[in-house]
Amino acid sequence: MDSTESNLFDDAMSRYKEGAKASELLEDFEQITTAFPNSSSGWTCLAWLQLLSDQNERALKSARIAVKLNGQDPQARINLSIALLETNSKGVREQIEVVQKILLAIPDFEKELKDSVADGLSRKPNWNSLIKIKKWLEL
């Protein structure tokens, strides 16, 4: 990330962590991914916000880009899994298996993913797709 990208990203993430609604941040992350199309973290966050905003088809596209840019990011794969479930698309099991392998190789990611799942369920309490993934990954 260059400094401009980092500043835009950090500002948007700070607002998210302070409780801003997902819909209020969509435009910011759309601008980040437009200005920095190779930013896997930008695409990962955009997909998450789109999922929280029930923009599932758009989230599926964003999550696929994020995984293509960084296949080792478990959050990107979880987002893709959720988007696949939400759009009744195939390929969820493959994504979950990759996340399980990543967690075996790098157990430090588990806390980050647990925090992400907790955040998602606090913002969208009856998010059935996320609840399924939480159970499958035992987070």
Q: pTM for the full model?
A: 0.94
Residue partners of 12: CB distance under 8 A and separation at least 6: 25, 28, 29, 32, 45
The yes-or-no verdict on residue 35 having pLDDT over 60 is: yes
Instruction: Give residue 22's Cα distance to chain centre.
Output: 12
Q: What is the mean pLDDT of residues 8-20?
A: 94
What domains are defined for the chain? 3-137 (1.25.40.10)
More confident residue, 139 or 2: 139
3-state secondary structure of 87: coil
Helices (H), strands (E): how many in the chain?
A: 8, 0
Q: In the structure, what pLDDT confidence band is assigned to residue 34 with cuts at 50, 70 and 90?
A: very high
The first and second tokens of residue 114, run together, are 């647990």
The whole-number pLDDT of residue 64 equals 98
Q: What is the mean pLDDT of residues 129-137?
A: 96
The yes-or-no verdict on residue 4 having pLDDT over 70 is: no
